[in-house]
Amino acid sequence: MSYQNVVPNQLGQAAITTSVTTLYTTPANTRTFVKDINICNTTGSPITVNLYFVPASGTASSSNAFYYAQSVAANSTLHWLGSQILLPLQTIQMSASGTGCTIIIGGGEAT
């Protein structure tokens, strides 16, 4: 597959909870590029977050962590800008030490 058609897309936007949850799953026959991650802490206390790029049929763990126990300061935003590629059926999963953080991820899908 040549992956010639690339469509920019918001890959996900959500509140991060204390349980590991899936924010995004790469569709079959698609590759996803992650370009931009923003995590906003709207509380008056720091919160630690975990973000995982999990292989297809895998589970979130330290072996596939993108951020692991990353502290987000009170009333601030953690911003990452770069390039990561997700393969078909790979997921982005997340969790936090408490409630009060939101996440927005931008990138694109190539078919």
Looking at the predicted structure, is the pLDDT value of residue 57 above 90?
A: yes
By the 8 A CB rule, do 23 and 103 touch? yes
Sheet of 101-110, strand order: 6-16, 101-110, 31-41, 76-86
**pLDDT grade, residue 4 (50/70/90)?**
confident
The CATH topology of domain 6-110 is Jelly Rolls (2.60.120)
Domain spans of the chain? 6-110
d(CA 42, CA 31): 32
pTM (two decimals): 0.94
Residue that is written with structure tokens 């977050």 in the block: 49
Supply 108's token pair. 């694109």
